[in-house]
Homo-oligomer: A and B are copies of this chain.
Amino acid sequence: MAGLRERKKQRTRRALIDAALRLFARKGYADTTLAEIAAAAEVSTRTFFSYFNGKDDLVFHDGEERMERALALLAGRRPGETAGALLLRLVEAGFGWALEDEALTFEEAELRMRLIMEEPALRARALLLMYDSQLKLAAALRQACPDELDEVEAAAAVGALFGAVKLAVMAHLGHERSLKDLQTTGRRAAELALDGLRALETRAAGRIPVEPPGMAS
């Protein structure tokens, strides 16, 4: 069932991605022109846009798979599992997937991070993708827990959880850390969102005399 057309398309798609990532790594994102990428993949620049929405999409070519896995996880809610527990399970699974994938394509993950940090256009694209993802996740969560959540609560829950992880991780990307540290940061942020911001008071009260966990400088 793998028609010639389909195979050729996939080959061209991969050629575009590979050529682009190689060029990005060597010359940087801004200094790589679409003409170069298209030439390296043996297609016209116009054709490029029937494969990707723009130069930035090349960097996020693997977005769909993760989303599907996440939606599947939410749909597979265990009986009696609360929304909070379900979301926590999603976050943990997400960290697992990150290590998984990035073990296979570690260089690519690192390249992506570097590019996102230095190119505002890529940052904007990443944020838009995350936003769309969160809308879908919120809808899925609502589907999974119709009795426990209304639409506002589902959206707020997803937004709070991912907003916390996103900002905490991004804020620390500027500090050059290992993936392990990043994971710890993300987990702490998720915990904070689950416990609620009001819990900060009590949490801080018991900590003042001792070490601020995870500080570097």
- Enumerate chain A interface residues (CB-CB to B < 8 A): 82-84, 87, 120, 123-125, 127-128, 131, 134-135, 138, 147-153, 155-168, 170-172, 185, 188-189, 192-201, 204, 208, 212-215
Contacts and interface: CB of A to CB of B under 8 A. Distances in A.
13 contacts: A82-B200, A120-B128, A131-B167, A155-B164, A156-B168, A156-B192, A159-B165, A160-B163, A162-B163, A194-B196, A194-B197, A194-B198, A196-B199
Nearest to A147: B208
Contacts of A125: 124
Majority-rule SS of A interface residues: helix
A187 B160 CA distance: 13
Given A135-B170, A163-B164, A200 B124 contact: no
B213 A156 contact: no
A112 B168 CA distance: 29
A118 to B, nearest CB: 15
A198 B201 contact: no
Contact of A171 (B135, B163, B196, B204): B135
Contacts of A212: 150
A33 B166 CA distance: 35
Nearest to A213: B150
Given A84-B197, A124-B124, A172-B151, A138 B163 contact: no
Nearest to A208: B147
A133 to B, nearest CB: 11
Nearest to A142: B171
Given A82-B200, A157-B197, A163-B163, 19 more contacts: A82-B201, A84-B201, A127-B128, A135-B170, A135-B171, A149-B200, A152-B168, A152-B171, A152-B189, A152-B214, A153-B200, A155-B171, A155-B172, A156-B168, A159-B167, A159-B189, A160-B164, A160-B193, A196-B196
Interface-central residue, A151, A152, A204, by most chain B CB under 10 Å:
A152
> 8 closest pairs, A vs B, by CB?
A163-B163, A196-B196, A159-B167, A156-B189, A160-B164, A159-B163, A155-B171, A156-B164
